[in-house]
Amino acid sequence: MDICKVHENTSKCSANAMPMECFMVLSTQAQKISIATLCCLFGTLCILENSLVLYLIFSSPTIRKKPSYLFISSLALADILASIIFVSSFVNFHVFNTIDSSKETFLLKLGGVNTSFTASLSSLLLTALDRYISISRPSEYKSLVTRKRAWVALGVLWMTCVTISSLPLLGWNCCILDSACSELFPFVDDNYLSSWICLIMVLLVSIVCAYARVLWKAHQHVAYMGKQQVQGGKQNARMRMDVMLAKTLVIVLTVLMLCWSPVLVLMIYSIFVRLSNQLRRVFAFCSTLCLLNSMVNPIIYALRSKELYSSLRMAFSRFRRQLRATEGSPEAESTHKSSAIET
């Protein structure tokens, strides 16, 4: 008998064979409304804000030529995809209790969420390495980090993330292997979940190490600026920009760790200990923190990046000029006069 098939007469969820209904842990209408509200609010704001970030980057000829903003664009794209796939699948499953027609459909959705999150972390790692090279080797930065190399790195990044996240769909799942299934994700093999968690932990540790080096270099620059007051203002301005951007990236990383630590801790805990329904319910609510992280990132960029903030102000200025031009057009004046005569 296939242990991964859903049986109508199943009344109890066993450790290795949990029907899809057993993963629907929201028991009350209030819990479902809370999850739906959080997902829709965070998801909508995330999509709007990250779309604005992409628009500001690619609408500015100066900004879009810089490799560092290509990495930020990759992060914004990953957050948008994660919001769309996560909200649609998560709400349908936990709120409307919709079961996919096949396990392949579910694993495809799960692979999309995993791809987006892994690509988001990898983009942060590339951004941290970019900042480290910019601060540690400023004279060689333009020759080392080019647009072509940045596009190649992003291509390799996304292809790797898609491949790793597609492994359960391609056969590494507990149905085909007849192995222990995860208690948090249907059809997911415990060994695959452990490997994915290890990958995420390696990415997080690498990001922390890279940011630590960036902060150390930034501290050295600040000390150097304090001693060399006679040097040119342009060099000082570049150092201040590097230091400010390094601080911005540290804030992004801190938010990332706070939002994703509860989820990762519960994932690791589920591998060794049988989870109760209450803990799995807590995991469901903690999963919405990923949307909060994706929603906060663009706000940090707007507040900390002077270039993006300037681009945002210019975009608003263009919009206001177009609005005034539309209001002052002959058609608008004739319409205004007609309405005044009718009145």
Token readout for 152 is: 């190649």
Categorize the per-residue pLDDT at 25 as very low, low, confident or very high, splitting at 50, 70 and 90: confident
| pLDDT for 332 | 45
| pLDDT for 336 | 43
Categorize the per-residue pLDDT at 21 as very low, low, confident or very high, splitting at 50, 70 and 90: confident
Q: Examine residue 314 and state whether it is found in any structural domain, yes or no.
A: no
Residue 145 phi, psi (nearest 5): -110, 95
Residue 188 phi, psi (nearest 5): -85, 130
| pLDDT for 12 | 41
Q: Examine residue 326 and state whether it is found in any structural domain, yes or no.
A: no
Residue of 309 and 2 predicted with greater confidence = 309
Task: Return the H-helix or E-strand segment holding 161.
Answer: helix 147-165
Q: What is the CA radius of gyration of the chain?
A: 24
Q: Examine residue 144 and state whether it is found in any structural domain, yes or no.
A: yes
| Mean confidence (pLDDT) of the chain | 81
Residue of 310 and 111 predicted with greater confidence = 111
Q: Examine residue 2 and state whether it is found in any structural domain, yes or no.
A: no
Query: Which of the residue ranges 71-75, 249-253, 301-305, 324-328 would you say has the lowest mean pLDDT?
Result: 301-305
Categorize the per-residue pLDDT at 226 as very low, low, confident or very high, splitting at 50, 70 and 90: low
Residue of 177 and 335 predicted with greater confidence = 177
Range of the domain at 34: 27-226+244-309
Categorize the per-residue pLDDT at 330 as very low, low, confident or very high, splitting at 50, 70 and 90: low
Q: Examine residue 298 and state whether it is found in any structural domain, yes or no.
A: yes
For the stretch 132-158, pLDDT in tens is: 888 888 888 889 999 999 999 999 999
d(CA 95, CA 118): 26
Residue of 244 and 17 predicted with greater confidence = 244
Does 51 score more than 50 pLDDT?
Answer: yes
Under a CB-based contact definition with an 8 Å cutoff, are residues 4 and 174 in contact? Answer: yes
For the stretch 271-307, pLDDT in tens is: 888 888 899 999 999 988 888 888 887 887 666 777 8
Structural domain total, the chain: 1
Q: Examine residue 71 and state whether it is found in any structural domain, yes or no.
A: yes
| pLDDT for 238 | 58
Q: Examine residue 264 and state whether it is found in any structural domain, yes or no.
A: yes
For the stretch 243-278, pLDDT in tens is: 666 676 677 778 878 888 899 999 999 988 888 889
Mean pLDDT computed over 318-326? 81
Q: Examine residue 237 and state whether it is found in any structural domain, yes or no.
A: no
* Own/partner pairs, 136-141, CB within 8 angstroms, 24+ separation: 136/213, 136/217, 138/238, 138/242
Residue 25 phi, psi (nearest 5): -90, -5
Does 233 score more than 50 pLDDT?
Answer: yes
